[in-house]
Structure 1
């Protein structure tokens, strides 16, 4: 996805996570585009994407409203993704990666190494990470040689933040975000190592942890509620993975 489009989607996700956009709030293209300083086209794309992810509901007329999402809904969908991707990693290890798959995964890991080598991360970097991360997961799912996994994941992705591509970025906490995404990248290295060495059980465990770390956002959400902060919807973004 182009950088402006990914930036808008990520920004809106983060606004929902933080409570800046509350459940039931109505959104329209023009004021949202003006607020974010972009044209209407990336906003229109973002609205459609977030509707597919279960975060927005399209109104019968024009515009969308922010859906209210429960912690249980997020937890359940993320756990399902962890099980499915863990199974994919185990079967990929059992099947053995093709040379092309192994080579591309190595290239993606190198790309990530270069991205995080500077010791910081920006919203522009997130667009690069988004595509890199999505492709990394796609290869592992394909390497499982189990089309039922991809089909099940496709259905699960319509639940809020269950998709591996559902990234958000807190630009007010750049140090923490760097650690989060860098650790996600280290997990990519670990799962690749396990798959490459035919360690199915290890690969499955790492991949499930990779997804289940999303629940760290649920914990953050609970803490914010306890403090009385205004948060209506939580982001099920994989806190380690981004997916």
Structure 2
């Protein structure tokens, strides 16, 4: 049987290390050592090692040839490519869902999340519940991928969105409650509606186009931060890993 205590310690170490990496506490290129981390987190070395292995699978750490791990760093082009890849894969998922057809239950589930996303918007354009929207947006995208009915596609999308800045909710945490990001949510919600419409009408080409355009919102938000307002970088999870 699996050691429940060790599993719990691994989960704690994983969450803490991931948070510190994304917060920029460990800049790209930093080598992580088991002993000091174990002492700092007051967890034994084995869960620390297992957590670092998981983070390497997520793409946040690199394994060194002589053993150990180092925090990955990324270029601006890397981030753009990751977002572009997600758009391509989600576009394929949307097209397959539309062309293969979805069950009434699946469509109703998507429509239900869409309605709840609408409730995140207040009376004014600046009044948006970022936390609720972020959670529901993640649910919407998960349903979209599931409706495609492809285990292979699901696996590849999971892989592509492991990097924090490539996930559908990369710019939707409370820390990123920035005016231009709030404005982009209104466009994103219209695209959500268009996706549901295209899938329910079995319009595969339209569904794919909307999904790919949807991912480009994240690209525009990224360009706004990196190219126009670099002082905001530390407010977006994961961008502290970018090479200067």
TM-score category, normalised to shorter length: 0.5 to 0.7
* Among candidates 96, 101, 104, match of residue 109 of structure 2: 104
| Cα offsets for 1:6-56 (capped at 9, x unmatched) | xxx99985x66xxx9864679999xxxxxxxxxxxxxxxxx9898765456
* Among candidates 215, 226, 244, match of residue 211 of structure 1: 215
Q: Which runs of 4+ in 1 moved over 3 A?
A: 9-13, 20-29, 47-58, 64-67, 165-175, 229-237
Q: Which has the larger radius of gyration?
A: 2
The aligned length equals 207
Residues 168 and 117 of structure 1, relative CA distance in 2, 3 Å threshold: closer
* Among candidates 194, 197, 205, match of residue 201 of structure 2: 197
Residues 203 and 80 of structure 1, relative CA distance in 2, 3 Å threshold: same
Corresponding residue SS for 1:188:
helix
TM norm structure 1: 0.65
Question: Residues of 1 paired with 2:198 and 2:238: CA distance?
Answer: 26
Counterpart in the other structure of 2:9: none
Question: Residues of 2 paired with 1:171 and 1:141: CA distance?
Answer: 27
CA contact (8 A) 1:218 1:234 kept: no
Question: Residues of 2 paired with 1:177 and 1:12: CA distance?
Answer: 23
Corresponding residue SS for 1:209:
helix
**Which residues of structure 2 form unaligned runs of 5+?**
1-17, 38-50, 240-244
Counterpart in the other structure of 1:129: 133
Counterpart in the other structure of 1:183: 187
Counterpart in the other structure of 2:83: 78
Larger helix proportion of the pair: 2
